[in-house]
Structure 1
Amino acid sequence: MPHTLDATTVRTWCGLALEALGQAREGIDAINVYPVADGDTGTNLYLTVESAAQAVDAVFDAHAAVADEEGPAFPDAVRAMAHGALIGARGNSGTILAQLLRGMAEVLAAEPDGSGTGPSGAGAERVGRTRGSDAAEALRRALRRAAESAYEAVAHPVEGTVLTVASAAADAAGQAEGGAVAVARAAYEGARKALEATPGQLDVLARAGVVDAGGSGLVTVLGSLVEAVSGETAMGPIAAAPSRRAATSPRPAPVPPLHSAGSAARTAPAAAAPAQRRATDSAAAVGAGEGHRTGHPSPGAAVAPSVRQSTGSGGTAVEGRVGDAAPASGAATRHAAGPDATGSAPGEAPVRAGTAPRQAAREEHDGAAETACAPPEPTGHLPEAAFHHPGEGRAAVEGHDAGPRSGPAYEVIYLLEATDEAVAVLRSRLDALGDSLVVVGGDGLWNVHVHVDDAGAAVEAGVDAGRPYRIRITHFGAAAAAAESAPGAPGEDHERTERAGRAVVTVVPGEGLAALCREAGATVVTARPGEPPASGELVQAVRRAHAREVVLLPNDAALRHTAAAAVEQARAEGVRVALIPTRSCVQGIAALAVHEPDRRFDEDVVAMTSAAGATRYAELAVAERQSFTTAGVCEAGDVLGMIDGDVAVIGASLEGTAAVLLDRMLAAGGEMVTLVLGSGIPDDLGETLEAHVREGHLAVDTVVYRGGQPSVPLLIGVE
């Protein structure tokens, strides 16, 4: 059967790449030594792909909103992917990855069927798919154009980097015979071999004993492409970890996944085909870690510039806008693909889920936060923006820390509206100012990245070329450390008096739960049905909390990578953040109940983690179709009772199924039962279940909350 390249393949690829980068993010950060050892390459790549995935999902949402069953055309999907990566690109590697995706899009979107040679009739134009040999040839040429465009975007290409890996992938793809799967797999294998050779091409990698971090991220993305077109996981090691990591300041140790007492060990089933991983809006799989996210990046209408400052671990980030408008971007939706940590495979338990798209504006994920101290002022004039110091909390490889360095002091990134001619002049000006110059984009919109000593001159060059906005300036450590240690730094006393000591940020699905958590003093992020928040939304919540120390409770296993990326961003802004990997709202409630801001941070985190881990969680759902589950075959309309993510009971009524669940959970012991009623569920259900526990289980207390969550009738927690 010929494999197809179509819009769904693009969407699946983005979802799989985001999941894979989420898993690899910390490891890639740890081996980041070139061009600057600031330990953020994995995080930057994750955020870049997250933006691409949101843009692709926005196209699908637009068609779903008008009940278009055929969905978007292939060219629309690949253009959205490239545009999303461009506007969301972060760091050197993220900017290069955006250009790689843009290069692929130039080829794949050249004709309605994406092949550049295929038919362009009404059917091909409407559906936009490429099959068999056409798909293979289109992919070969796309990978070649991607590598070429990346080299063109970098002012002074260096071998042993992501550029080398991209070129090797294109070479291997060009020599591969067979269909799209064979071409994608050859590109992946070629990239892996090139990645392994990078320490021999770049001395800084050899001294650190690591492979190139950006190249490692690209191999991860290409592995996801293989999985998207074939349904088979690309296996094999991707990156060599450093033998030892040096840290310049203490940071909370990672908290291991929570395991409730008495929960049985589970083995995750084999990965499902990508098409199965992404459940439809009308039939989402329980425990599959899937959902969609929508957001509207700011259209950038004329606003008065404001100064927003943030102090972080190794540099100073400055964000601002010049000009009167930024390009508009539509709503964005992301579907995370693949099984979640519970081991439940997509499609195991089809249930009704809320699907209304969210039409609310989302804060830009790279916005700046309040600052604890003013940074050193860069030379030259800067539009009003905010500074941020990277470094101390970042991982660094032995011998390559993020401290004082001989290279330029600042990283400058901004989006730019300008003509091709103006950008050509801009390249020359920026090349004379510094190094690591990468300018990607086209069609009037560009992403500019450069390392310089004169940040003001770099931004002024953008002003002369066109309209720069989303300006981000990062100071590489040395001057930032001096600024932090200088007594009486502007804004320091104000921040010490205004910033709270500690806060809790929690993600909840209903207004009742939101009100409950706010009453307990938490900063709340409300997750709408099937719409988990983006990493930027979590970072914004950390900023709103305005505290020196923050505990983050995601309350959803599917948010583990998104939350981890948000934590890295917040730490880079100088906030001490601990992530407790709560998998359900009832675990979050248990953790919040023992939160004591007056005790030491580490002690508080341990106590909250222990409370969450001691809470087993369950929930009810209604099956939408016949399906095989771990408890047997369910029919449409059956009530499914799930314990710790696994279907344990199949019943006919909410009350009866919940009672069986409670008895099973309490059979292993328990002191407190928490019941959270969903939207539209009568109070009688809570009263009945409370009486059931009181009659059948002595010395067990029950508390009932009206959570208001729209898609889950009942949440149960047993401590």
Structure 2
Amino acid sequence: MEQVLEVEDTVDGRALRRWAELGVDSLERRRAEINSLNVFPVPDGDTGTNLLVTMRAAAGAIGGPVDGALTASAVAEGLARGAFAGARGNSGVILAQALRGVADSIAGLTSVDGRALADALASAAALVTRALSAPARGTIVSVLESAAEGAGRAARDPEATVCEVVVASADAAADALQRTTTQLDVLAEAGVVDAGGLGLSILLDCLVEVATGTRPHRHIRLSGAARPVPETTAADDHSQGSDHPHGSDRQEYEVMYLVEDSDEARIAALRPRLDALGDSVAIVAGGAGCWSVHVHCCDPGAAVEAGLAAGSLRRIDITCFALDAARRGCTDPVPAPPVAGDAGRAVLAVVAGDGTADLFEAEGATVLRADAMITPGRMLDAIRALPSRDVLVLPNGALSAQDVVAVGVRARAEGRDVMFLPSSSLVQGLASLAVHDPTRATVDDAFAMSEVASCVRWGSLRFATERALTWVGTCEPGDALGLSGHDVVVIEHDLVAAGVSLLGKILAAGGELVTMLVGADAPEGLAEQLAEYLDHRHPEIDVVVYRGGQRSDLLQLGIE
């Protein structure tokens, strides 16, 4: 094994390179341990992995030959750039910002003495705190702040060596790590220390080894057994235990991206928009008009749109916590509630509007109202409440594909035989339900219903609420829009004209039946005028009009 480099008075570039190598090796060996403690801010069991990936990227960005005379400043800058580019997860973003603080503090220095090291850690702690919208006590941030304070106390002694400052910093971090269990309720309940804090403590102990030749042997006291933490998914509605105002709401996605071609003013405006969408907001500057953004939220699309208003985006990474947990096979399902007898096959349909609900209920479906936002948690609770283990679900476009997969995995793990059918709209769901036959085998019934749903071409009418670029040009607020599926294909100033044009496009491939589902805000006579147009131009086509009462569309069309 390579001889550990000992540094007596200063830490130079070679020492920092060696520290990065030791850090990667140590995080790799203890990754599973760190992952097993991960319960905050989201119990997704990946903090160790995220720190390792980020530290590898940092170490890989150090330039120059291994034995070259690199300055401490050059190595620190390489570490900061690499970590910024490769940061993964909340803990990775924080580590990248800490390394940026160190690099900025020691810029231009060939080597670092005790005073400079203490200043660098203080800079790292301050920069991390500024990057976070709501830094919580009892986390990696607390451990970093304590490490900086410990180094600062030691460096007040003008005779203190760099070794003494490093040891004081690592010892203070270890003490702070132990206190995290008492600072966050979610850690106390699990009986663990903060996972990110442990990762940082390990990295500081690696610096002690570089400076002194010996790594400290520390024992972490746990009030509970160190174990893989049960993975609750985004489909649960339990608290994250966050100090953030949104912390009582389960955030279902992690969104990360880089914002380029931006400036301080637009980034300052981005932060409150992300705060309103979720929590664990971190915005890290990378230089040259580039920032790294991290947020946990329920609406990843809105988080990305907020970023687009701040600049050009690249490397957009969206993680669904429930789907990620399901892929790892580590979900911890809630025991299935007892079902007194089997009530046969149930059909659960997501609907919007009183009239639409009546239509689905008349066909024997149990309805889940989408007048309020449908979350994976609400969907899972609705499935659990059914008196049947055999369930067919018509999501009718209310959930993303990722959410559908996540809920299905969770429900099946609880003993429910659940199948989600490919209905992306209310009119597709209605058509599908019309061929439902509970006397058939479930797979045959699901196939017949899915086939009908997939054959229904559908569209909708609505008014534009903002200026936007579409496939057929730019729309202005108040324009009438015709959508085929989810794509705008018609822009008109008149709603009836938009409806006529939309019908012409959708009927170009033929059709025998047009179903119109009239929304709550549709102008009086809209459906009647479109029906009259069809009767005149396509007398061979049957038209059925229902008063759905949905708010999402003025009119929804289904073509069979």
Q: TM-score range by the shorter chain?
A: 0.5 to 0.7
Q: Kindly indicate whether structure 1 or structure 2 has the higher relative contact order, using CA contacts under 8 Å at least 6 residues apart.
A: 1
- The AA in structure 2 aligned to 1:155 is S
Name the counterpart of 2:170. 188
Name the counterpart of 1:680. none
Name the counterpart of 1:204. 186
Deviations 1:321-355 (CA, angstroms, capped at 9, x unpaired)? xxxxxxxxxxxxxxxxxxxxxxxxxxxxxxxxxxx
Change (3 A) 1:223 1:100: same
- Residues 11-50 of structure 1: pairs in structure 2 closer than 5 A: 11-50=17-56
Q: Is the Cα contact below 8 Å between 2:39 and 2:229 reproduced in 1?
A: no
Q: Is the Cα contact below 8 Å between 1:33 and 1:205 reproduced in 2?
A: yes
Distance 1:103 1:435 in 2: 23
How many residue pairs are counted as aligned between the two chains?
Answer: 319
Deviations 1:503-538 (CA, angstroms, capped at 9, x unpaired)? xxxxxxxxxxxxxxxxxxxxxxxxxxxxxxxxxxxx
Give how far 1:4 is off: 2.7
Q: Is the Cα contact below 8 Å between 2:8 and 2:211 reproduced in 1?
A: no
Name the counterpart of 1:52. 58
Q: Is the Cα contact below 8 Å between 2:23 and 2:202 reproduced in 1?
A: yes
- The AA in structure 2 aligned to 1:440 is V
Name the counterpart of 1:334. none
Distance 1:245 1:235 in 2: 21
Name the counterpart of 2:196. 214
Q: Is the Cα contact below 8 Å between 2:36 and 2:226 reproduced in 1?
A: no
Name the counterpart of 2:77. 79
Give how far 1:165 is off: 0.6
Distance 1:79 1:314 in 2: 38
Change (3 A) 1:10 1:434: same
Distance 2:228 2:197 in 1: 22
Is 2:120 the partner of 1:136?
no
* Alignment TM-score, normalising by the size of structure 2: 0.53
- The AA in structure 2 aligned to 1:415 is L
Name the counterpart of 2:215. 233
Distance 1:424 1:439 in 2: 10
Distance 1:242 1:28 in 2: 15
- Residues 523-538 of structure 1: pairs in structure 2 closer than 5 A: none
Give how far 1:434 is off: 1.0
Give how far 1:221 is off: 0.8
SS of the residue corresponding to residue 446 of structure 1 reads strand
- The AA in structure 2 aligned to 1:449 is H
Change (3 A) 1:244 1:75: closer
Distance 2:304 2:221 in 1: 35
Name the counterpart of 2:406. 481
Deviations 1:645-669 (CA, angstroms, capped at 9, x unpaired)? xxxxxxxxxxxxxxxxxxxxxxxxx
Change (3 A) 1:34 1:136: same
Q: Is the Cα contact below 8 Å between 2:181 and 2:188 reproduced in 1?
A: yes
Name the counterpart of 1:668. none
Q: Alignment partner for residue 422 of structure 1, among 239, 249, 266?
A: 266
- The AA in structure 2 aligned to 1:93 is S
Distance 1:239 1:84 in 2: 34
Deviations 1:571-609 (CA, angstroms, capped at 9, x unpaired)? xxxxxxxxxxxxxxxxxxxxxxxxxxxxxxxxxxxxxxx
Name the counterpart of 2:92. 94
Q: Structure 2 unaligned segments of length 5 or more: list them.
A: 1-6, 243-247, 323-375, 377-402, 410-417, 424-560
Distance 1:233 1:54 in 2: 23
Distance 1:44 1:241 in 2: 25
SS of the residue corresponding to residue 232 of structure 1 reads coil
Name the counterpart of 1:298. none
Distance 1:445 1:481 in 2: 34
SS of the residue corresponding to residue 64 of structure 2 reads helix
SS of the residue corresponding to residue 280 of structure 2 reads strand
Q: Is the Cα contact below 8 Å between 1:7 and 1:72 reproduced in 2?
A: yes
Is 2:308 the partner of 1:463?
yes
- The AA in structure 2 aligned to 1:194 is A
Name whichever of 468-477 and 136-145 sits farther off: 468-477
- Residues 605-624 of structure 1: pairs in structure 2 closer than 5 A: none
Give how far 1:240 is off: 3.9
Name the counterpart of 2:338. none
Distance 2:229 2:81 in 1: 36
- The AA in structure 2 aligned to 1:143 is L
Distance 1:71 1:489 in 2: 62
Q: Alignment partner for residue 452 of structure 1, among 297, 302, 313?
A: 297
Q: Is the Cα contact below 8 Å between 1:27 and 1:241 reproduced in 2?
A: no
Give how far 1:241 is off: 8.5
Change (3 A) 1:240 1:25: farther
Give how far 1:60 is off: 1.8
Distance 2:151 2:76 in 1: 19
- The AA in structure 1 aligned to 2:129 is Y
Distance 1:244 1:236 in 2: 15
- The AA in structure 2 aligned to 1:37 is P
- The AA in structure 1 aligned to 2:141 is L
- The AA in structure 2 aligned to 1:434 is G
Name whichever of 226-235 and 74-83 sits farther off: 226-235
Distance 2:252 2:317 in 1: 14
Give how far 1:437 is off: 0.4
Distance 1:213 1:70 in 2: 35
Change (3 A) 1:76 1:476: same
Change (3 A) 1:226 1:205: same
Give how far 1:246 is off: 6.0
- Residues 368-383 of structure 1: pairs in structure 2 closer than 5 A: none
Distance 1:74 1:489 in 2: 58
Q: Alignment partner for residue 152 of structure 1, among 123, 130, 149?
A: 130
SS of the residue corresponding to residue 430 of structure 1 reads helix
Q: Is the Cα contact below 8 Å between 2:13 and 2:70 reproduced in 1?
A: yes
Say which one has the larger Rg: 2
Distance 2:228 2:31 in 1: 18
SS of the residue corresponding to residue 72 of structure 1 reads coil
* Alignment TM-score, normalising by the size of structure 1: 0.42
- The AA in structure 2 aligned to 1:175 is R
Distance 1:247 1:82 in 2: 31
- Residues 560-639 of structure 1: pairs in structure 2 closer than 5 A: none
Change (3 A) 1:45 1:239: farther
Deviations 1:660-698 (CA, angstroms, capped at 9, x unpaired)? xxxxxxxxxxxxxxxxxxxxxxxxxxxxxxxxxxxxxxx
SS of the residue corresponding to residue 91 of structure 2 reads helix
Q: Is the Cα contact below 8 Å between 1:415 and 1:446 reproduced in 2?
A: yes
Distance 1:22 1:460 in 2: 36
Distance 2:407 2:126 in 1: 42
Q: Is the Cα contact below 8 Å between 2:84 and 2:286 reproduced in 1?
A: no
Q: Is the Cα contact below 8 Å between 2:43 and 2:229 reproduced in 1?
A: no
Is 2:240 the partner of 1:412?
no
Name the counterpart of 2:106. 108
- Residues 356-395 of structure 1: pairs in structure 2 closer than 5 A: none
Name the counterpart of 1:435. 279
Q: Is the Cα contact below 8 Å between 1:185 and 1:226 reproduced in 2?
A: yes
SS of the residue corresponding to residue 60 of structure 1 reads coil
SS of the residue corresponding to residue 449 of structure 1 reads strand
Distance 2:183 2:229 in 1: 26
Change (3 A) 1:220 1:79: same
SS of the residue corresponding to residue 33 of structure 1 reads coil
Q: Is the Cα contact below 8 Å between 2:167 and 2:208 reproduced in 1?
A: yes
Change (3 A) 1:233 1:473: same
Distance 1:233 1:3 in 2: 18
Give how far 1:471 is off: 1.1
Give how far 1:459 is off: 0.6
Deviations 1:517-568 (CA, angstroms, capped at 9, x unpaired)? xxxxxxxxxxxxxxxxxxxxxxxxxxxxxxxxxxxxxxxxxxxxxxxxxxxx
How much is the aligned-residue C-alpha RMSD, in angstroms?
3.1
Distance 2:161 2:419 in 1: 62
